[in-house]
Structure 1
């Protein structure tokens, strides 16, 4: 069972449309589709300049703490066409990207990553541009 943060997510209109299109094209699992549709219904849309700095979006470096292992991981989220493993970048539409986008520092999310349920807390968000 996937369960995203209960908090309202905040997205730019461009990211909102990108995720909506991604879901519409069935690029996610049925479980993810359900969660994402619910999140999009409750999402607050803002312009890029009005997006709070502590919210995960495209071109962001995000530090998350795995609540089970207490280990921290850092992800750099970029546009789908700019994601490159060798650059250690993840697409905003990857599993981790979809799990984190729109959430802010302090939010805790529950998400399935390849059948493994993880509970992650966002501890830092850094804009790259």
Structure 2
């Protein structure tokens, strides 16, 4: 998702600048893109997973560790058109009702629950 990528780069660039690891946002973005392109970012993520007790090959074999949803159902638009609004609260509530979120802090989360390939507004 390009918008998520852009927001993530902007936030990370700000962190590099605030942490003194880059002189400005542009320099930070160059460093960030280099880390992504070289695989260094993925390697660091893998190291963090291992440090937290996770498998070393999670990035290479996610299907071996992440449970698949028992039901996968495509949802098509009822008619042709362009998405002009998104009922984000209702989507979030639906995820919670399906078990993918918490109503209370003690509630368990079913990591198999979620949406994928959600079309953005304007498509």
TM-score, normalising length: structure 1:
0.22
Bigger strand fraction? 1
Give the number of the structure whose alpha-carbon radius of gyration is greater: 2
TM-score, normalising length: structure 2:
0.23
